[in-house]
Amino acid sequence: MNLKYAVFVLAMAAGVAKGQKQDYQMPLNIPALLSGNYGELRANHFHSGIDFKTQGVVGKPVFAVMDGYVSRVSVSPWGYGLAIYLTHPNGTTSVYGHLDRFNKTISTYVSDHQYKNETFSVDLTLKPNEIKVKKGEEIARAGNSGSSGGPHLHFEIRNTKTEEPLDPLAYLPAVFKDSTKPKLKSIVVYAKEDEGVVNGLATQKEFQYVIPQKGKGSPHIKGPINAWGEIAFGVKANDYMDGVSNIFGVKNIALVVDKDTVFKSSIDRYRFDETRYLNAWIDYDLWRSNRSFVTKSYVENGNKLRFLKAKRQGWVTIDEERPYDVTYVLSDYFGNTSKVKFTVQGKKQAIPKEERTYDKIFKYNADNNFGNKKVKLDIDKGNLYDHVYFTYKERPDTAGYASVHVLNDKPIPLHKSGTVRIKVEDDKLENKRAYGIASVDKGRKRWIGGTYKNGWVEASIRELGSFTIIADTAKPSISAVG
């Protein structure tokens, strides 16, 4: 696939999406400005909808975007806070999150169940004939409830049957105006383990995209980039929209090497059980160290994101002493497109062989476990995104009830929870339920919890790292509010 075809495919993807619009209306009656887009990269997940600005206040009316019925309503101090789910006859469900309050009908229904169950938090499923709504009917007021950083409306469109979140921009009226192109910030070049080298390094190297002052040259990748053997690429990029200062995710990415498209991504749909594959797509080490999102233009063995397409998993062979022409094509939903070109110089050089010490090789396509007299670790098949050279160390912890167990020399994300069990070495508490496992990162301990049984504490973990046992011995306290 050549460069022109890559641009054509990305443009067609946007066009097809726009052609899917049904008879929806906007959920708000104020100017449509966004603070977050669909598929945006977040910690451990993709953003499953779009975030509407509400002019910095709570209380703006929220309307049903189409005829349907209330199929679910939830109230929680976390997550979406107050949320409404409307099921529509065309096979979609619209979701409205972080609401301030429901309309009278929905509010009465929720209150009845809260009193009946003697609980604030509820997650209620309704039958089609219980609460019907009409397109344009006010169903709630926008707010800031749940895990929200400020007043806004979180809005989703889902496939009712599969519950997959879809890009709402493909369904809502075309009232958004955007002429701003995505911007590339930097690229990362990766050398394949024992098979590639980049500027003398057998690992990876980041190269900044430089935009000189006017009249002092053209934008360029600050090189040079010399490579040999098997390499791959990653990109740090953001999208922007007219009229707002927010930073958005880039919907479409294509990587072209010598007119051949070796990688492309187009975030159009995914399942919620796939969302943590984001950790396989991003450079997890970079995100962990500086909260910087670099998406890899290659696909690891255990990465099952369906919207990633790659030849040879995105790896490129540099085996000739010549310049290789590389282009990144970035585009948004509206078709605004940026192309950044740079050169990788094929330069024959020795490929360093990494000398590594490890305790065990964990395979992504097998069950993995490790254990000794003080700690045990179990990871089910499919929970690693690639093979891991697993290392183990034990450090003393005078302030805890067990040693610090370093389960691998760097954090590795798990797709689903693994299980860690740690022996209580100083088992002196009468209340065994006070024991819990904590993660240890840069000297700071974070409570995870767990269950005590026969001198061991067991807990679920979502990444490899350092762990020990601490105790929750503080009594609850009550203080007046206001």
Residue 437 host element (H or E): strand 435-441
User: Residue 344 has what pLDDT?
Assistant: 98
Radius of gyration of the chain (CA): 26
Question: Would you state the structure tokens that stand for residue 16, as one six-digit string?
Answer: 């097809």
DSSP letters, 304-317, are --TTEEEGGGG-EE
Q: Is the pLDDT score of 1 beyond 60?
A: no
- Give CA 28 to chain center in angstroms: 27
User: Residue 354 has what pLDDT?
Assistant: 84
Q: Is the pLDDT score of 463 beyond 60?
A: yes
Cα separation, 279 vs 254, whole angstroms: 20
Which residues sit opposite 226 in a β-bridge? 345
For residue range 138-181, list pLDDT tens digits in order. Answer: 999 999 999 999 999 999 999 999 999 999 999 999 999 999 99
Cα separation, 184 vs 225, whole angstroms: 17
Measured CA distances, 120 to 105, 114, 131 (Å): 18, 6, 21
Tokens 């890009």 correspond to what residue?
167
Q: How many CA atoms lie within 13 A of 304 on its CB side?
A: 14
User: Residue 2 has what pLDDT?
Assistant: 53
User: Residue 213 has what pLDDT?
Assistant: 79
pLDDT grade, residue 126 (50/70/90)?
very high
Cα separation, 98 vs 151, whole angstroms: 8
- Structure letter (DSSP) for residue 212: P
Question: Would you state the structure tokens that stand for residue 380, as one six-digit string?
Answer: 């089910």
Closest by Cα among 235, 228, 253, 190 to 386: 190
Question: Would you state the structure tokens that stand for residue 309, as one six-digit string?
Answer: 């397409």
Burial state string for 341-354 with b = 16 or more CB within 10 A and e = fewer than 16: ebebbbbeeeeeee
Q: Is the pLDDT score of 16 beyond 50?
A: no
User: Residue 18 has what pLDDT?
Assistant: 46
For residue range 93-118, list pLDDT tens digits in order. Answer: 999 999 999 999 999 999 999 999 99
Decide: helix, strand or coil at residue 329: strand
Residue 188 host element (H or E): strand 183-198
Q: Is the pLDDT score of 231 beyond 80?
A: yes
Q: Is the pLDDT score of 19 beyond 70?
A: no
- Lowest pLDDT segment from 16-25, 179-188, 215-224, 410-419: 16-25
What is the mean predicted confidence (pLDDT) over 336-341? 98
Q: Quick one: fold of 21-170?
A: Glucose Permease (Domain IIA) (2.70.70)
- Structure letter (DSSP) for residue 248: B
Cα separation, 426 vs 424, whole angstroms: 6
For residue range 285-336, list pLDDT tens digits in order. Answer: 999 999 999 999 999 999 999 999 999 999 999 999 999 999 999 999 999 9
For residue range 419-439, list pLDDT tens digits in order. Answer: 999 999 999 999 999 999 999
Count of C-beta atoms within a 10 Å radius of residue 91:
12
Tabulate helix, strand, coil % of the chain (nearest 5). 10, 45, 45
What is the mean predicted confidence (pLDDT) over 2-22? 47
Contacts of 399 (CB under 8 A, 6+ apart): none
Listed by start position, the domains of the chain span 21-170, 183-346, 360-471
Category of 118 on φ-ψ map: left (φ > 0), alpha (ψ -120 to 50) or beta: left
Q: Does domain 360-471 have CATH number 2.60.220.30?
A: yes
Count of C-beta atoms within a 10 Å radius of residue 371:
11
User: Residue 13 has what pLDDT?
Assistant: 44
